[in-house]
Amino acid sequence: MKGGGFSFQLLKEVKGKGRLGRISTPHGSSSTPAFMPVGSQGSVKSLAPADLKEMGAEILLCNAYHLYLRPGTEVVKEVGGLHRFMGWDGPLLTDSGGFQILSLCALHDVGPDGVRFRSHLDGSVHFLTPEKVVRIQEELGADIMMVLDDCHPYPVSYSEAKAAAELTTHWAKRSKGAKSRNEQALFGIVQGGIYPELRRQSAHQLMMMGFDGYAIGGLSVGEEKEVTFEIAEMTASVLPKDSVRYLMGMGTPEDILAGVRMGVDMFDCVLPTRCARTGILFTSSGKLNIKNARYSKDKNPLDPHCRCYTCRNFTRAYLRHLFLSRELLAYRLNAIHNLFYYHSLMRDIRQALSQDKMDQFEREFFSQRGRDNGANSGEEGGEIVC
């Protein structure tokens, strides 16, 4: 049922196992835990909205920074809003673009009033305030908007992390004051680097303001994985039980399983589609590099246990041929498979939680990969870098 405003219903919670919930928005609902495919510029690379619907995607992520620069907010608004512009009628979350300004713009200047930067597209100078970022997202028509935040890469000193967290809190307050449309949700973002004290302080200050949901930002930016999990788990534990918890930008299957156990409800990552474009495919037995010569005459599907369009219709040999030939179809078929895998994983996690079988599910998940310690496996070895 579509219509109405934003709401979150916590359906079940088992400490140390995970949470089941339901997000409702004016453009429909999404079950949680949920994974959001990333369509930064209004498109999940190589895929159409019909592909995403078929694989079970319920909510997508777009980026206000990218859409503000190109094609421009006024263009999207004139066409009828972001949903109509990109042909997606389900829920949409827009990231504010704080991280993209940091990572893409060689020249940027952060101050109390906002951030001045040069576009990575044409070098033009722009100045974004917290209020303007909210207005951009309101004009785009996002169901869930993110506040502008100050995100620093690792390593960052205590004093720098403290200043960034305080600025993010200041901007969050201004963002909340600028919000003018009740049907659109606004999420605060917890910052504080790798420092538990700063994270707790940031979370409590945001909670006092009262946001529709809370995101854990500024992680997986270079720190050790153990540190990432430690800070994410601590932060999730202090966030409100009855609000959405969103872990930003983390997305290996192992990351998602760990995040679910922490009580996180929403995830996003470019990993499935980025890996698809480099020939790395996710399967029930680990990751597979389709470029490998061993697949040149392989008549098997990518994953015998997968029911995606790619696995139902094509062999590893054909997919390898397409990829090595740089045929555009390779990127599409690989992306269909990887995102189908991710959404199947989320459905299986939700089912395991509903049946109180999370421990059994995780044992089977890791045993299929030939290990039980949560590290990445497969023929490539080590971390997945796509």
Q: Under 8 Å CB-to-CB from 337, ≥6 apart: which residues?
A: 276, 281, 282, 302, 303, 306, 308, 310, 311
Q: Which of 51, 95, 143, 212 is catalytic?
A: 95
CB 282 within 8 A of CB 35: no
CA geometry: angle at 110 spanning 109 and 113, to 5°?
120
Q: Residues 185, 144: contact at Cβ < 8 Å? A: yes
Q: How far is CA 24 from the centre of its chain?
A: 18
Residues 172, 178: Cα–Cα separation, whole Å: 10
Structure token pair of residue 117: 């930067």
- CA–CA–CA angle 138, 144, 146 (5° rounding): 80
Please give the structure tokens belonging to residue 369.
């990969």
d(C-alpha 7, C-alpha 340), whole Å: 27
CA gap 81, 72 in Å, rounded: 12
The question of whether 268 is a catalytic residue gets the answer yes
What is the side-by-side order of every strand in the sheet holding 213-216? Answer: 34-36, 266-268, 244-247, 213-216, 185-190, 144-146, 92-95, 60-63
Residue 356, number of CB atoms within 10 A of its CB: 11
Tell me which amino acid residue 105 is. Answer: C
Does the annotation count 95 as an active-site position? yes
For strands 144-146 and 185-190, give the pairing. Answer: parallel
Given 51, 149, 265, 268, which residue is catalytic? Answer: 268
Question: CA-to-CA distance for 62 and 84, rounded, in angstroms?
Answer: 14
Those residues whose C-beta lies under 8 Å from the C-beta of residue 34, and which sit 6 or more positions away, are: 23, 58, 59, 265, 266, 267, 346
Centroid of chain to Cα 38: 6
Task: Name which of 100, 80, 81 is nearest 38 in CA terms.
Answer: 100
Q: Are 339 and 37 in contact (CB under 8 A)?
A: yes
Which residues form the catalytic set? 95, 268
